[in-house]
């Protein structure tokens, strides 16, 4: 297998990761007739959506898909997002991991994080501006959160063989332009297609608890990858760094059909809400715990107090 570097003594956890992501002896090759039909279904749906959009443009990400298919009232509420050391730590860790994958030698996690913070602070972005204004205590917190994640990544993953084209923070989109664009950024991908053979593994790096939407997020990435290249990935993995456990799924035709239907349902809901003026539907759920509307939402309060029937 070419996905992981050879000649390195691996830990039991790294061996476990290697076994879970290893290619099976039989190559994975999807029927090109199925891929063409999937593409036609999406093209036809997009043409119908374009007629309803008018001059509106939709950029559809995994977050927007899961958000609009959850509680629509929360989805349309103005975003009051603010950076904090804990939230920004994930972004810094991802940039540090990106550096580490391509770094020669055996870099120290803290050095990778320091370099990532410097590079992000130079970006013309809200995160860059926030880092620039950090005091020493918050910067120390930020560094601590990020170093923890980078160390856990190195504990979980063996050194990645450059021949397998490991890629981090890779932007994907389809189509390149138009009223509707599906887009995202993949935490880590390993492998690349060989002709029509599926060899790529798409990985999301997670902290905290397992959530069903994490699987759906990866299926969205699998759909975008299929539409843009004509070759689906072979596996999807949500890797929970705190527990050292991945949730791995083989990509199948059913995976892609499910992702297509879910994505088209989300686009339809966005058009109904943004363009056609439909009133948002409240759907109480786990997100009620951090929803800014929860104190004035009867349905949300009922869910949080356990009285939701």
The predicted-structure confidence for 100-130, as pLDDT tens digits, reads as follows 998 988 899 999 999 999 999 999 999 999 9
Q: Are residues 53 and 94 in the same domain?
A: no
Final residue in a domain of this structure, among 135, 156, 177: 156
What's phi and psi for 202, nearest 5 deg? -105, 130
Integer angstrom CA distances of residue 268 from 51, 62, 102, 264 = 12, 15, 40, 6
Give the pLDDT of residue 209.
86
Does residue 30 lie in a domain region?
A: yes
What's the mean per-residue pLDDT of the chain?
Answer: 92
pTM: 0.92
Does residue 294 lie in a domain region?
A: no
Closest by Cα among 80, 268, 78 to 180: 268
Does residue 108 lie in a domain region?
A: yes
Overall domain count for the chain: 2
Q: Are residues 187 and 45 in the same domain?
A: yes
What is the Cα–Cα distance from 53 to 268, expressed in whole angstroms?
10
Q: Are residues 129 and 199 in the same domain?
A: no
Does residue 283 lie in a domain region?
A: no
Does residue 297 lie in a domain region?
A: no
Q: Are residues 189 and 214 in the same domain?
A: yes
* DSSP assignment of 51-75: HHHTT--EEE-HHHHHHHTS-HHHH
Q: Are residues 202 and 66 in the same domain?
A: yes
What is the Cα–Cα distance from 153 to 77, expressed in whole angstroms?
35
Does residue 289 lie in a domain region?
A: no
Give the pLDDT of residue 1.
42
Q: Which domain holds residue 92?
A: 85-156
Q: Are residues 188 and 42 in the same domain?
A: yes
Does residue 305 lie in a domain region?
A: no
Give the pLDDT of residue 222.
98
Give the pLDDT of residue 2.
43
Q: Are residues 235 and 118 in the same domain?
A: no
Instruction: Name 292's Cβ contacts closer than 8 Å, sequence gap at least 6.
Output: 77, 80
Mark the ranges of the chain whose per-residue pLDDT is less than 70. 1-7, 307-309
Closest by Cα among 69, 74, 23 to 213: 69
Q: Are residues 256 and 127 in the same domain?
A: no
Burial 128-162 (b: 16+ CB within 10 A, else e): eebbeebeeebeebbbebbbbbbebbbebbbbbbe
Does residue 290 lie in a domain region?
A: no
Contact (Cβ atoms closer than 8 angstroms) between residue 260 and residue 41: yes
């Amino acid at each position: 297998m070419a996905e992981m570097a050879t000649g390195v003594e691996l830990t039991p956890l790294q061996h476990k990761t290697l076994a879970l992501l290893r290619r099976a002896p039989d190559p994975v090759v999807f029927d090109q007739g199925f891929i063409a039909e999937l593409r036609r279904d999406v093209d036809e749906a997009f043409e119908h959506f374009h007629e309803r959009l008018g001059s509106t443009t939709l950029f559809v990400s995994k977050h927007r898909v899961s958000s609009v298919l959850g509680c629509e009232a929360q989805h349309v509420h103005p975003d009051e997002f603010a950076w904090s050391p804990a939230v920004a730590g994930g972004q810094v860790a991802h940039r540090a991991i990106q550096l580490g994958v391509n770094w020669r030698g055996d870099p120290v996690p803290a050095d990778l994080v320091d370099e990532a913070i410097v590079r992000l602070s130079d970006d013309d972005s809200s995160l860059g501006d926030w880092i620039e204004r950090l005091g020493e205590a918050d910067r120390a917190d930020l560094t601590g959160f990020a170093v923890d994640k980078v160390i856990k990544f190195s504990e979980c993953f063996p050194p990645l063989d450059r021949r397998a084209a490991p890629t981090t923070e890779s932007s994907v989109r389809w189509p390149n332009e138009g009223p509707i664009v599906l887009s995202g950024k993949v935490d880590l991908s390993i492998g690349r297609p060989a002709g029509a053979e599926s060899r790529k593994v798409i990985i999301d790096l997670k902290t905290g608890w397992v959530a069903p939407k994490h699987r759906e997020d990866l299926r969205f990435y699998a759909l975008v990858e299929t539409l843009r290249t004509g070759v689906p990935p072979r596996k999807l993995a949500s890797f929970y760094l705190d527990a050292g456990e991945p949730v791995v799924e083989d990509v199948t035709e059913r995976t892609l059909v499910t992702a297509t239907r879910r994505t088209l349902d989300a686009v339809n809901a966005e058009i109904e809400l943004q363009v056609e003026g439909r009133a948002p539907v409240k759907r109480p759920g786990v997100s009620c715990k951090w929803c800014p509307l929860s104190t004035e939402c009867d349905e949300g309060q009922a869910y949080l107090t356990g009285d939701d029937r």
